[in-house]
Amino acid sequence: EPEVTQTPSHQVTQMGQEVILRCVPISNHLYFYWYRQILGQKVEFLVSFYNNEISEKSEIFDDQFSVERPDGSNFTLKIRSTKLEDSAMYFCASSTPGQGSPSNQPQHFGDGTRLSIL
Amino acid sequence: KQEVTQIPAALSVPEGENLVLNCSFTDSAIYNLQWFRQDPGKGLTSLLLIQSSQREQTSGRLNASLDKSSGRSTLYIAASQPGDSATYLCAVKVASGTYKYIFGTGTRLKVLA
């Protein structure tokens, strides 16, 4: 069964450095998402991306964050000038288009990248 | 603002038992509701998706129901097995043009052999 893949599985970065988290969504999916889960807390939505632009973002997704689809297969999350509180598990997800907008199809998640800021 | 709550936070049952996990949400105007399974250190596996117009969905030993008017969903697991041990999350997609899911805190299930 096709799956969302994320790399690296674990990233350790010094505070203040930039980090890029990478995702390969399922190939025929057109909607892409980033979520994060701070240890012991709820999964939180960060951003959705469709047709090469951000379709929705949360208040967490400030100017420190950016997303990009640099080619036909990858979807990246860049975090500039990382802070200790950015330490979390970051999940990428994708979904197919369905009836209506936004998509009513299930979102499929990757295994996540554990980001540790020192 | 939509809030999603899951009760109980943790549950331990002997193998073979049927069990029910509960999810409640404060705003009944949802687009759909999705149940996920999360294994330790792993991502989220989609189990069932219920559209707002549906009352229930079934997949194998799993059955999810939705009562929008009361703001509740339940996930029923029949004949539980040790392999069902995981954290179960429910998430709602709020209507009115949003792409995001709002997640509950999850129920941590342990099925004892």
B54-65: per-residue pLDDT in tens? 999 999 999 999
Are the CB atoms for A75 and A92 separated by under 8 Å?
Answer: yes
Between CA A79 and CA B40 the distance in angstroms is 25
The verdict on a CB contact (< 8 Å) between B97 and A45 is no
Mutation target to probe the A interface, by most A beta carbons within 10 A, among B32, B100, B108 is B100
B103 in contact with A, Cβ within 8 Å: yes
Of residues A91, A101, A114, nearest to B44 (C-beta):
A91
The verdict on a CB contact (< 8 Å) between A91 and B91 is no
Smallest Cα–Cα separation from B103: which of B62, B42, B46, B18?
A: B46
Chain A residue with the nearest C-alpha to that of B45: A109
- pLDDT digits over A87-115, tens only? 999 999 998 876 655 567 888 999 999 99
User: Consecutive 10-residue runs of chain A (118 residues): their mean pLDDT?
Assistant: 89 96 92 94 94 91 94 92 96 81 79 95
